[in-house]
């Protein structure tokens, strides 16, 4: 279906597309996601994509191809980041895999806020499809300046998830490391992030991927627990209370 046909259908069921000067909104009193939802609804996005972005809006059945389900990261033909979604809203899309009219009249900041709401809908789904099991931290050894954390991260979703960073109040920083063998020697390198493919598990374990807690504030003994904050690209922020175990684990 051509973009102008979609635009006619949207207009026929009451979509409001503001023309002329761009409206200036005061977002200081509202959260970005809440304001993004308001703009999402005001600009008629639910008519195609549905109230919760599942591609089940009132006119979705009349469109071919059907509107994308925002929860399916593989359905984003032009990328699913904040910047990519904002660009798609502005420029639209017309290809064999998807058709969407352009909305250049929507102010840049408003497009970003709508994109923030769409990304939040991704996160709602991503958080439901992500699980973290068997987290533990190795007790520290003299001089007790660093130690390692391990766990298994499972992604039951269809799209890729990414661990972008980790924080711990007890350490000055937490680094993502990979231990590997090269020419008979064990080596270690720092990684910027960990990618977890859809329908896959990633094990952080001794001798492989792990989290390194650097510059510890105190000695960590077996039986204690440590707070870790894991930041994911789609599933958002996860707070864990991780037990400290003896070295033999």
Give the pLDDT confidence score for residue 73 in this predicted structure: 72
Residue 119, both tokens: 């990304």
The arithmetic mean of pLDDT across residues 3-8, rounded, is 36
Q: Which fold has domain 139-245?
A: Immunoglobulin-like (2.60.40)
The tens digit of pLDDT for each residue in 122-138 reads: 766 677 788 999 999 99
3-125 CATH, one of 3.40.50.11720, 1.10.760.10, 3.30.930.10, 1.10.260.40: 1.10.760.10
Other CB atoms closer than 10 Å to residue 210's CB: what's the count?
Answer: 22
The larger pLDDT score, comparing residue 28 to residue 50, is at 50
Would you state the structure tokens that stand for residue 144, as one six-digit string? 């007790």
The residue among 9, 5, 4, 124 whose CA lies nearest residue 59 is 9
Which tens digit of pLDDT belongs to each residue from 14-34?
343 333 333 333 333 348 888
Domain definitions of the chain by residue range? 3-125, 139-245
User: Can you give the pTM of this predicted structure?
Assistant: 0.57
**81 closest CA partner among 159, 194, 28:** 159
Ramachandran angles phi, psi of 2, nearest 5°: -75, 155
All residues at 6 or more sequence positions from 236 whose CB lies less than 8 Å from its CB, including other chains:
123, 126, 127
CB distance 39 to 11 below 8 Å: no
């Amino acid at each position: 279906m051509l973009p102008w046909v979609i635009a006619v259908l949207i207009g026929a069921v009451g979509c409001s597309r503001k023309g002329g000067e761009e409206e200036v909104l005061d977002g200081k009193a509202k959260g970005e996601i809440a304001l993004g939802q308001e703009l999402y609804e005001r600009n008629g996005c639910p008519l195609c994509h549905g109230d919760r972005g599942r591609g089940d809006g009132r006119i979705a059945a009349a469109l071919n191809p059907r509107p994308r389900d925002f929860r399916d990261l593989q359905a984003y033909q032009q990328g699913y980041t904040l910047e990519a979604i904002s660009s798609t809203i502005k420029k639209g899309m017309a290809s064999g895999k998807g058709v969407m009219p352009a909305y250049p009249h929507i102010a840049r900041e408003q497009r970003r806020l709508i994109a923030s709401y769409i990304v939040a809908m991704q996160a709602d789904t991503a958080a439901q499809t992500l699980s973290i099991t068997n987290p533990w931290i190795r007790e520290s050894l003299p001089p007790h300046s660093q130690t390692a954390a391990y766990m298994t991260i499972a992604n039951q979703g269809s799209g890729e998830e990414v661990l972008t960073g980790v924080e711990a109040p007890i350490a000055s920083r937490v680094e993502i490391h990979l231990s590997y063998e090269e020419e008979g020697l064990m080596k270690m390198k720092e990684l910027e992030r960990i990618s977890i493919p859809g329908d896959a598990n990633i094990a952080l374990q001794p001798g492989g991927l792990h989290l390194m807690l650097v510059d510890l504030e105190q000695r960590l003994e077996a039986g204690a627990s440590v707070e870790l904050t894991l930041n994911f690209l789609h599933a958002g922020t996860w707070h864990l209370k991780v037990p400290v175990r003896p070295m033999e684990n």
